[in-house]
């Protein structure tokens, strides 16, 4: 079985996220033991941004690092694990990203993180699990402070 990073690199629909991982230098982290759960945005999620905004994002390394890290949490959270939490009566849980930011997971109707929806689950890897999502997950600090003007046109709650 491949590492979580190699698993991502081998799936065509995650190439833009893989590029972002390389830009922010998280490759060695994702080759480590983990375990990690990655909510990986598809290439289509990235193309919801204009090409200008994508260029701005790749030029703003601190913001890109925050956004990429917000998609990665420590621990193994399979779809089954998340459903078990839901059966305990919790409809929303808070996971912690690898940069210690809260990642709010809504379990009321499927699995949602902010505006994103999990569209494919449980892509297994040696050191974790990947779930495919349809939109970028914006970190809480970006949503609260609206630190980047280009984010204002990107739908966030």
45 is a domain residue: yes
Q: Is the pLDDT of residue 143 over 60?
A: no
The pTM (predicted TM-score) of the whole model is: 0.86
Q: Is 93 exposed, middle or buried (0-12, 13-18, 19+ CB in 10 A)?
A: middle
85 is a domain residue: yes
Domain CATH for 115: 2.30.180.10
Under the banding of pLDDT at 50, 70 and 90, the label for residue 139 is low
Domain that holds residue 63: 4-149
What backbone phi and psi angles, to 5 degrees, belong to 125? -140, 170
Distance in angstroms between the alpha carbons of the first and the last residue of the chain: 37
Under the banding of pLDDT at 50, 70 and 90, the label for residue 145 is very low
Under the banding of pLDDT at 50, 70 and 90, the label for residue 133 is very high
Split into its structural domains, the chain has a count of 1
- For 124, the enclosing helix (H) or strand (E) is strand 116-125
pLDDT digits (tens, 9 = 90+) for 71-124: 999 999 998 888 887 777 778 888 899 989 888 888 888 888 888 999 999 999
d(CA 28, CA 19) in angstroms, rounded, equals 14
Yes or no: say if 137 and 39 are a contact pair by the CB < 8 Å rule.
yes
Q: Which of 78, 62, 57, 65 is nearest to 129 (CA)?
A: 78
d(CA 33, CA 35) in angstroms, rounded, equals 6
Region class of 51: left (phi > 0), else alpha (psi between -120 and 50), else beta: alpha
pLDDT digits (tens, 9 = 90+) for 57-67: 888 899 899 99
pLDDT digits (tens, 9 = 90+) for 2-58: 999 999 999 999 999 999 999 999 998 988 888 999 999 999 998 888 788 888 888
157 is a domain residue: no
């Amino acid at each position: 079985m491949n590492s979580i990073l190699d698993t991502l690199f081998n799936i065509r629909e995650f190439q833009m996220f893989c590029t972002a991982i390389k830009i922010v230098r998280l490759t060695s982290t994702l080759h480590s033991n983990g375990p990690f759960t990655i909510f990986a945005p598809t290439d289509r999620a990235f193309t919801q941004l204009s090409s200008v905004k994508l260029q701005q994002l790749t030029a703003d390394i601190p913001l890109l690092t925050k956004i990429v890290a917000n998609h990665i949490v420590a621990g193994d959270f399979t779809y089954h694990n998340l459903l078990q939490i839901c059966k305990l009566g919790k409809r929303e849980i808070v996971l912690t990203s690898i940069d210690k930011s809260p990642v709010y997971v809504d379990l009321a109707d499927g699995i949602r993180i902010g505006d994103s929806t999990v569209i494919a689950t449980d892509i297994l890897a040696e050191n974790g699990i990947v779930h495919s999502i349809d939109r970028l997950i914006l970190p809480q600090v970006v949503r609260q402070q609206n630190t980047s003007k280009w984010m204002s046109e990107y739908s966030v709650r």
